Copies of this chain bind each other. A is one copy, B any other.
Amino acid sequence: MQQTFDEICSKLAEKEYKVTPQRKIILKAFLDNVDSHLSAEDVYGIVKIQHPEIGLATVYRTLELLADLSILQKMNFGDGRSRFEFSETEAHHHHHHLICVSCGKVTEFEDDLLESLETAIAKKSGFKIIDHQLKFYGFCGKCQ
């Protein structure tokens, strides 16, 4: 994943954003937890262990920046805070979320299978669709 890290740093530099240690640290926290859906507080908790001087506001500002750049995607799973994951729009590597209404666990489903629906909707609605987000609610294996 080192490759991706450098790529993202370059992306920041290209757009005249400064590549600060704090931004690197926060980005690294995400790369170390690719399959989690971290909230700002989660990230803060992770980075504080090794870098206790980082402020929560910096975490919020960095996450917002990375989301603006479409590097991260802000999500909402109904627990009252925003959660972030790597945006996979460009990579066309979409996945869906399965949210257990009993225990709250969020798992991912790795197929997309929505391309034809997307073009159909785009044609009918006049929207130029650039992304989608599909959540399923139900009971996970444990909770059934």
Contacts and interface: CB of A to CB of B under 8 A. Distances in A.
Interface string A21-47: 000000000000000000000000000
Given A130-B101, A136-B132, A121 B141 contact: no
Interface string A106-130: 0101010110011011101111111
A125 B137 contact: no
Given A74-B78, A76-B76, A78-B74, A131 B125 contact: no
Contacts of A121: 96, 98, 109, 111, 136
Contacts of A134: 132-135
Interface in A78-114: 78, 96, 98, 100-101, 107, 109, 111, 113-114
Contact of A127 (B118, B126, B131, B136): B136
A4 interface: no
A113 to B, nearest CB: 6
24 contacts: A76-B78, A96-B121, A98-B127, A98-B129, A100-B127, A107-B125, A107-B127, A114-B117, A121-B136, A126-B140, A127-B136, A127-B138, A127-B140, A127-B141, A128-B138, A129-B138, A130-B137, A131-B136, A131-B137, A131-B138, A132-B135, A132-B137, A133-B136, A134-B134
